[in-house]
Amino acid sequence: MTTRAADCVFCDIIAERAPATIVAQDDRVLVVMDIRPVTAGHMLVIPREHVRDLAEIDPDTAARMFHTAQRLTRSLSGCGLPHEGTNLFYADGEAAFQEVFHAHLHVIPRFPGDGFRISATGWTDQPSRDQLEANAELIRAALEGDN
């Protein structure tokens, strides 16, 4: 059973209550063209079940999302749209610039001169090995509690 959320545009698309240009679909995911594309061919891989973020996605569905993105990337290579590479982008949470709070994976065709840039300005100094180890230890401890 697919769960839906009120006032979720992706749930409306999945339920065919909102328009979308569908590229592909199966029992777990729907692929649509992004209505605000970064480049021609920019697509979204959306799980059919309403899940807000990455932590909520069923592992099999997450695997299907990435397998679908892999297939889409292969298809971009021969479809005639400009494509010399692909960015997969997943925004998880408002601080990560997630705008629609239904999990989704962007598949963005890339080519030289396409104008799309990803930049990170927050990094100023390389952390020490000790700081990296301390951060890793915090994460490892949280992983152990997540079994």
Model pLDDT for residues 51-97, shown as the tens digit of each residue: 999 999 999 999 999 999 999 999 999 899 999 999 999 999 999 98
Q: Residue 4's pLDDT band (boundaries 50, 70, 90)?
A: low
* pLDDT cut 70: percent of the chain above it: 95
Predicted confidence (pLDDT) at residue 145 exceeds the cutoff of 80? no
Give the Cα separation of 29 and 31 in Å (integer): 7
Fold classification of 9-117 (topology level): HIT family, subunit A (3.30.428)
Q: Helix/strand/coil (H, E, C) string of 44-79?
A: EEEECCCCCCHHHCCHHHHHHHHHHHHHHHHHHHHC
Contacts of 101 (CB under 8 A, 6+ apart): 8, 52, 53
* pLDDT cut 90: percent of the chain above it: 81
**pLDDT of 123:** 67
Q: Which of 42, 83, 102, 104 is catalytic?
A: 104
**Is 104 a known active-site residue?**
yes
Model pLDDT for residues 41-52, shown as the tens digit of each residue: 999 999 999 999
Mean pLDDT over 133-146 rounds to 90
- The pTM of the full predicted model, rounded to 2 decimals, is 0.89
**pLDDT of 1:** 39
